[in-house]
Structure 1
Amino acid sequence: MKSGEVSPASLHTTVLLHEVVRWLQPRPGGRYMDGTLGMGGHSLALLEAAGEGAELVGLDRDQEALALATRRLEPFAGRVHLFHLPFSRFEEALDEVGWERIDGAVLDLGVSSLQLDEADRGFSFIHDGPLDMRMDPDSGPSAEELVNTLKHGELARIIRVYGEDPLAGKIASAIVREREKGAITRTLQLAEIVRLAYPPKMRHTARNHPATRTFQGLRIAVNRETEELEHYLATIVGRLKPGARLAIISFHSLEDRAVKHAFRDAAKGCKCPPHQLHCTCGGVPEMKVLTRKPVAASDAERDANPRARSAKLRVAERLGPDGEEA
């Protein structure tokens, strides 16, 4: 690293790093995939643990993160293949490098410190910046566009379903009233609108900033995170070798439920309707769930990195074609 340059590791603390490596059990010559590369923390640790000959495909839709990860993974140049793609399009990357199946995969669904702490990205309700929230600034509508154009009902749905805020209707009404006076273009402007939509007592007793859930909901909608995850979960199993493990870190209940249900369904095998007494589909289990309960960060990690407090890791292993363990 050149003198004066900032280390990628100093910009973002990788969550559940040791747990991911322990569960994925990387080995020499293995092929692995990091669908949410970020600044390369999980990828670097997997390659270091795997040993000689291991390769990795990494994807991210944030060009700035990709550049930092490229620099961080330089010691493994030639064994790392990086792509500017959302994780839902991982099959394009695997096909390009000629990998039919892989030995393990990790997905970290959190927003990186690089995005949260950079005011111009528009993810933070603490730092003022343009109301953007796009992980790929060149793709899709921004949060500003959604906030200023969506009808009340759709805004309320996003805040209620994706943000899981019970005051979604009141918040959407406040946003609609304010945008009639002029466009809502700044993060702190929106955060204050949401704060004032909360009753005074709730403002004072809330554990987190009142805008936390609204910003979460808008970020998920802007980046189509739910659709991305659903597509990934529906397709990743078919690209895992028998014995390969899939580790997914989520940060809110919406994501965690989706992962939990996908793992459960893949482990069940039978796809017949619940009311049907006997199986006629002939389905066999595709995955074995290895984490009965999600793995949480240790007390030490939560103290050192507050963003790890809500992290939940679930892991499943690909079974053989007959539903038996590899």
Structure 2
Amino acid sequence: MLKHKPNGQPPQEQDRQPGRETEMVPQPEFEPRYPSAGRLAGKTALITGGDSGIGRAVSVLFAREGADVAIVYLEEDEDAEETKRLVEEEGGECLLIRGDIGSASFCADAVKQTVAQFGGLDVLVNNAAEQHVDEDVGDISEKQLARTFRTNVYGYFYMTQAALPHLTRSATIINTASVTAYRGQTVLVDYSATKGAVVSFTRSLSQQLAKEGIRVNAVAPGPIWTPLIPASFAADKVAEFGQHVPLGRAGQPNEVAPCHLFLACEDSSYMTGQVLHPNGGEMVGS
């Protein structure tokens, strides 16, 4: 059963990007909500940004469903070690890989480590992202713009390019997009632009890889309670976060992770180039 508080979160903020899940109150809900059905038995998944938030929920759910998991994270060692513990509690093996997905050479090394550890790669989840609040598009610096695109777009390209030589028929790629790709966000213009690029990347890549039997889909979450939120917004905005959607609250990571699972396993065998929308009821284009 969900433990969410319908009236939102206490005011809070963090002074660094990326945020830390260990500092959030209340803690995001990551626990899988159902027993295993073995949907990913014998599979290996590589999940970027797998240390916290949606990535943690995906990592733990995949492990429950039988997968071994490689988690790529930037620098949040405490969060990553906790996620590793949780994955292992579910019976999966977990490899932690620390580094910046904005580097093509790092992505190549991360895939190399994953394949060396587990003997192959079946599921790639491109999930890591960053965002920065700016009230005026003119305030977005060249450095910030380059950094946001390097993480949110280049990182997805680099990791995919590194993974493809190891993916065989029935392998899957799942990209985490965002509701902002469809309806925009006035203070996250560069972030929203990158998520629009992720949607187009997903659709184009799915067509290119269909003949190889590799499916490519995406998930576009709405307002989800993750470390990005207190690390991005002022405390008063955090307290109101998610209340604008029809369901009246922020979503939890374990309400998003089942979308990634569905797209990773054979339940979605006739879907490619599609986007799922766990967003609390916002009506957006598909």
Q: Normalising by structure 2, report the TM-score.
A: 0.50
Greater Rg over alpha carbons, structure: 1
Q: Normalising by structure 1, report the TM-score.
A: 0.45
Higher relative contact order (CA 8 A, sep 6+): 2
